[in-house]
Structure 1
Amino acid sequence: MLSIAGLLFLLLQSWLAATVVRRVVGVPIGWPRSIMVGFIMSATMGLTVQYLFRAATDQNTNGLNVAPAVAVLFLVLAVGWIFALGVGALVFIEAAFPTGSLPRFSSLFTGWKARRRRTRRYSDVVAIAVRHGLGSRLRGFGNGDSTEREAKTARALRNALNEAGVTFVKLGQMLSTRQDLLPETYIRELQTLQTKASPEPWERISAAIKERLDRPVAEVFSDINPIPLAAASVAQVHQATLLDGTSVVIKVQRPGALDQVNLDTDIILRLAHWLNKTTPWGKSLGVYTLAQGFAGSLEEELDYRIELENMRSIEHSLAVSGNFSVSVPHAYPEFSSERLLVMDTLPGRPVSSAGTLLAGLNAEERSALATTLLGATLEQIVSDGVFHADLHAGNIFITSEGTLGLLDFGAVGRLDPATQTALGMMLYSIDKNDSAGATDALIELLDRPDTLDERALERELGQLLTRYRVGFGPGGSQKMFGDLMSLVIAYKFAVPAQIGAAFRALAAVEGTLQIIDPTMDLVAASRAEGSRLMADRFKLGSVKDELEQRAMQLLPLLNRLPRRLNKITEDLEHGRFNMNVRVLAHPSDRRYLTGLFQQLIVAVLAGSAVLGSIMLITSNEGPLLTGQIHLYGVFGFALLFGGFVLGMRALMLVFKRDVDA
């Protein structure tokens, strides 16, 4: 019973010591490490008390023996220094392994199965990276590399992502749109990533169809072809026939694909969270936000109910427009589910394998097809705000009648009206050679940097427009878009996720257009199409509707305006008019200055205490407590204790500030 009481007292003492240490350090620190340090401090204090008790009672045969009063003084000093060393140990641990960078203590006893799967997957991914020569490059890419080595590393990264599976392929495809984050060499390689896989055995696919159809297969389909039309890492597509004889295709998610994607996404989010928490560059780049956006978009892409809604939205917008002959397969929501999608068969062949069909078309027909595809894409982006974000050659079909069709609506982007207008105005300004308008549209479109020189940006953008004003031949469009993106990167603009999706759609459709019509000048066609779309907005009826909408928004302000003007004029007449300007009105500004002054004051006090303690310790003045120890020396060690603790607090505040920066 006495042992249990002693253990409980030691635990209580450890908790109390940990609480005081956390308070002194001044920043949130994990309880497990604080309790551990507190336990060691308590144990050390217990041994120190026993030793000094024997010293005060002359029981140390070959050690220190002093008067009881001196022993008490030494005890106070020893307890203080044990506490100071505990603070120092905690600061060192926190600097080396910040709170949150290690697994929680409770995780040692839970989640072993998930952790084992995650560890096995970690090992697989690292092995793939090392096998492709990325082992020495895991700490970063492109730091002072030669062009040849950078190209080699980019190829290795692409191959590693491709081998790692669908989640990492999708991650690479997302990064391929972030030219503001990665060098051009990596962008080119990542844009070639495509998800391909060997077909799943029909027995497993058949069972998955039956499970996700939630009814007997014979009640819906009269026939299903067991040989897949296409196979990717996540899904397979099979030809089928409904009971009424309608030819359809079934897109079914592979069994286990969702679990694999969730596991890989969890790994990516954990890594991004660690980088965001422990590195200044990770937080400045918004690594965790990027990973969350990627995880959210991938989650939507794996939910076929969302893909079905995307199909219906784009089908409706194309039907309402009526400007372009582009078909979208009709989907059957009554037969579809979260992991199963049933839709009409899209006739024709994908552009990627329609070489014979294209060769049979003359130049005018191929040009008309390319113009239709570009016009439909820009109209989706600029006018509708809902657009197909993955327009590579495998997702665009050409029918034998010479019309176009779209497929695979898992990746669909959405733009708000203001962004649509900004994109249209940029294309319109480029077409009119208006550098000021293009600059304003670009600033409205992207996230403006804090230190933007608008005049310099306008001059460089004007030079870019002048250089390409007269047009150019095939392939020149890539040069202009590349120069425009280089300008965006040079001025440190951030590209929002949905704008990145629009850029990705345009980049993908450019490659498809070059297959359909290699002679097409994409920039010239984009300028003309953008000018047409904005001209529709500038029609009298459209402008009238816009003015009416803005007038309705101004009505509340206009109603209050006379009363406010009357009050201002009365205040001016009677000398009561005044203006109040508050310096440091924002709480974040006040917190910043408060923290800065706290660091300065703590650092000055720590330095002063250390200097004073050195003077006292090295002094030979004052009464002797023992044969060799002066009283002033004891006071010096006490003052040094205060300086040490304050120094540790200042150091911890610096570490915390670096992480939060």
Structure 2
Amino acid sequence: MVDLGRPRRGSPARYRQIACILTRHGLGFLVDRLGLPRPDRPDRGTPSQESRHLPPTLAARVRLALEDLGATFIKLGQILSTRGDLIPPELAAELGRLQDAVPPEPLEVVEEVIAEELGRPASAVFASLEAEPLGSASIGQVHAATLLTGEQVVVKVQRPRVAEQVEEDLAILSQLARVAQRRTSWGRVHHLPAVVDEFAATLRAELDYVREARNAERIARNFSGVPDLRVPAIYWAYTTQRVLTMERIDGIRIADRAAMQAAGIDLRAVAVRTLHMSLKMVLEDGFYHADPHPGNFLVGPDGSVGLLDFGMIGVLDRPTRENLLYLLLALVEGDADRLVDRMLALGIVGTTFQIEQMKHDIRHLILPGAGLPEEEPDVHRFLDGLLTMAYRRQLIVPSSLLLVCKTIMMHQALARRCDPECSLAEVLGSYARRLAVESYLPHRQIGRVLTALSDLGDLALTLPRHIHRLLLETEQGHLTVNIRIREIEHVLEVLNRLVNRLVLAIVAAGLTVATALLLQAYRFRGVEWIAGALLMAGFVAAVGLALWVILMVVRRRHH
């Protein structure tokens, strides 16, 4: 068992609990792979008893284990469901079904958190606070309430001690990521510690309700001229890092198609409105709602769309938005060559991936008929196929691009719930073409030209100094070139292990030969016992070393 170097926040009890839950769900091989402490017995039943009730697929067992492990691991699974470059498609699809619903905390506990955060009792803020929450998740729960001034609000309250548990779990995940990177090629290729660090930053942001409130206000400002989108107003006087008070928005859940039809709502208009909202956030604002599941959308009687829950937000800079715009436009037009060019510009690379093979794959992703112009491209099929291709080809895809792809796919699924005939390709085509034309308008180009001139001016001022320093270091013989070969550390580590095993094997063989020679040399009357002792000692040493070499080989193959 390796020493994980556990941080103080990663308690041994939590490590054992993780190992027990993994074993209970038929994932004991992960316990060994990650060097977790083997549980003496599962925390519920025996392995043989539990195996009768396990789901047949590995992906389903992983999902259930993550749900049992709590808030941090549920969020990890939800993030991984967007990372088609890291995990197989079937696992990504299964993790998309993760249920973040747990029994709610009692109202008394909720009121204690409110009093602690606001510095006064809940009764001094709210005229009423519903005991039954509107929703309950692993991090917090939402209650309907009425302010003393009469406004109808909802209050989002974080569970007690959830932040401490999340920090402990993040510390453990960081350690396990380093172990996985050392022990598996998958971990090394994808640099798992960096993936965990990025996930940790995302989760910590979700724990901060002040940040969520600011996210909501920024999206409200971005849509200030769009009356068809409603964003709840924030009541800052009653908002802290663990308590969020916002306007209550009423409406029909976007997944309830029958209720919207009964209310006389134009489903086609709602579907198109949802897609326009998504495209505006992604392609124009660069600040988008990254958790567009049906529970976060309410449709008003007039067909307006209300947006909820701003904890998970994606951000795209201007160059990324422009490249993504032209990538989607090339997709709609069925141009595989331009698609590949934009993919490379977005930072999608592969160590052994050939450009022509990529174009071949892209043509089959765009259309089932390998790019027939009379067929309409399926945007969802392309994006889903792109994630699958990234995993199969071991492409390096920026995580921000993966998240936005998943978000667009989820928005298309929402639109299809309202109107199965709604075409994202049609909406996207007209929207992207309009943006492409607008990008060449004079006022847009003036800004870009001024920025480029400013950068060029800075370069002109600093370039002579850099050239002078380079020439001076070259003349003085101080110029050094640092070259780093990828994976060279891993190669050296493997060679070091092989050499160590070879040395041990040679020593074991030498002891065996020396024992035989000593036996022959001391075979005379009166000292037979010396020969016997030497023979036994050499034999034991040789067998011990041989077993040690075999054990290391077996353990290496196992891991």
Do both share a fold (TM > 0.5)?
yes
Deviations 1:197-246 (A, max 9, x none): 23322222222222222223344322222232222232221122223222
Counterpart of 2:539? none
Counterpart of 2:403? 501
The equivalent position to 1:201 in structure 2, one of 83, 99, 106, is 106
- Where does 1:453-472 land on structure 2 (aligned, <5 Å)? 453-462=354-363, 464-465=365-366, 467=371, 469-472=373-376
**Once the 2 structures are TM-superposed, how far is the Cα of residue 404 of structure 1 from its aligned partner?**
0.5
**Once the 2 structures are TM-superposed, how far is the Cα of residue 394 of structure 1 from its aligned partner?**
0.3
**Once the 2 structures are TM-superposed, how far is the Cα of residue 410 of structure 1 from its aligned partner?**
0.8
The equivalent position to 1:227 in structure 2, one of 132, 141, 151, is 132
Paired residue secondary structure (2:246): strand
With over 3 angstroms needed to count, the CA separation of the structure-2 counterparts of 1:422 and 1:197, relative to structure 1, is same
Give, in whole Å, the separation in 2 of the partners of 1:477 and 1:438: 13
**Once the 2 structures are TM-superposed, how far is the Cα of residue 369 of structure 1 from its aligned partner?**
1.5
Deviations 1:516-543 (A, max 9, x none): 2111122332333233333322223212
What is the one-letter code of the residue matched to 1:173? Q
The equivalent position to 1:419 in structure 2, one of 314, 320, 335, is 320
**Most deviating of 425-434 and 349-358:** 349-358
Counterpart of 1:168? 73
With over 3 angstroms needed to count, the CA separation of the structure-2 counterparts of 1:168 and 1:563, relative to structure 1, is closer
Counterpart of 1:46? none
Counterpart of 2:444? 542
Give, in whole Å, the separation in 2 of the partners of 1:311 and 1:172: 24
Deviations 1:19-46 (A, max 9, x none): xxxxxxxxxxxxxxxxxxxxxxxxxxxx
Paired residue secondary structure (1:409): coil
Counterpart of 2:229? 326
Alignment partner of 1:555 is 2:452 = no
Give, in whole Å, the separation in 2 of the partners of 1:562 and 1:261: 51
Give, in whole Å, the separation in 1 of the partners of 2:505 and 2:159: 65
Give, in whole Å, the separation in 1 of the partners of 2:144 and 2:466: 70
The equivalent position to 1:253 in structure 2, one of 158, 174, 195, is 158
Counterpart of 2:175? 270
Alignment partner of 1:236 is 2:141 = yes
**Once the 2 structures are TM-superposed, how far is the Cα of residue 550 of structure 1 from its aligned partner?**
1.1
The equivalent position to 2:247 in structure 1, one of 344, 349, 354, is 344
With over 3 angstroms needed to count, the CA separation of the structure-2 counterparts of 1:283 and 1:137, relative to structure 1, is closer
Alignment partner of 1:431 is 2:332 = yes
TM superposition score normalised by structure 1: 0.65
Query: Retained in 2: the 8 A contact 1:370–1:516?
Result: yes
Give, in whole Å, the separation in 2 of the partners of 1:290 and 1:508: 23
Deviations 1:73-97 (A, max 9, x none): xxxxxxxxxxxxxxxxxxxxxxxx5
Paired residue secondary structure (2:309): coil
Query: Retained in 1: the 8 A contact 2:213–2:234?
Result: yes
What is the one-letter code of the residue matched to 2:387? M
What is the one-letter code of the residue matched to 1:467? G
What is the one-letter code of the residue matched to 1:442? M
Alignment partner of 1:448 is 2:352 = no
**Once the 2 structures are TM-superposed, how far is the Cα of residue 464 of structure 1 from its aligned partner?**
4.0
Unaligned 5+ segments in structure 2 are 34-53, 468-478, 528-541
Unaligned 5+ segments in structure 1 are 1-96, 141-148, 566-580, 630-643
Query: Retained in 1: the 8 A contact 2:81–2:91?
Result: yes
With over 3 angstroms needed to count, the CA separation of the structure-2 counterparts of 1:590 and 1:374, relative to structure 1, is closer
What is the one-letter code of the residue matched to 2:16? T
**Once the 2 structures are TM-superposed, how far is the Cα of residue 405 of structure 1 from its aligned partner?**
1.1
Counterpart of 1:523? 425
What is the one-letter code of the residue matched to 2:273? T
Give, in whole Å, the separation in 2 of the partners of 1:325 and 1:279: 50
With over 3 angstroms needed to count, the CA separation of the structure-2 counterparts of 1:119 and 1:613, relative to structure 1, is closer
**Once the 2 structures are TM-superposed, how far is the Cα of residue 386 of structure 1 from its aligned partner?**
1.1
TM superposition score normalised by structure 2: 0.76
Give, in whole Å, the separation in 2 of the partners of 1:471 and 1:118: 53
The equivalent position to 1:387 in structure 2, one of 288, 291, 294, is 288
Counterpart of 1:287? 192
Counterpart of 2:475? none
Larger of the two Rg values belongs to structure: 1
Paired residue secondary structure (1:534): helix
Query: Retained in 2: the 8 A contact 1:477–1:523?
Result: yes
Query: Retained in 2: the 8 A contact 1:584–1:590?
Result: no
With over 3 angstroms needed to count, the CA separation of the structure-2 counterparts of 1:119 and 1:587, relative to structure 1, is closer
What is the one-letter code of the residue matched to 1:496? P
Query: Retained in 2: the 8 A contact 1:358–1:516?
Result: no
Give, in whole Å, the separation in 2 of the partners of 1:217 and 1:601: 69
Give, in whole Å, the separation in 1 of the partners of 2:422 and 2:463: 55
Give, in whole Å, the separation in 2 of the partners of 1:210 and 1:501: 37
**Once the 2 structures are TM-superposed, how far is the Cα of residue 398 of structure 1 from its aligned partner?**
0.5
Give, in whole Å, the separation in 2 of the partners of 1:287 and 1:542: 40
Query: Retained in 1: the 8 A contact 2:22–2:30?
Result: no
Give, in whole Å, the separation in 1 of the partners of 2:380 and 2:502: 58
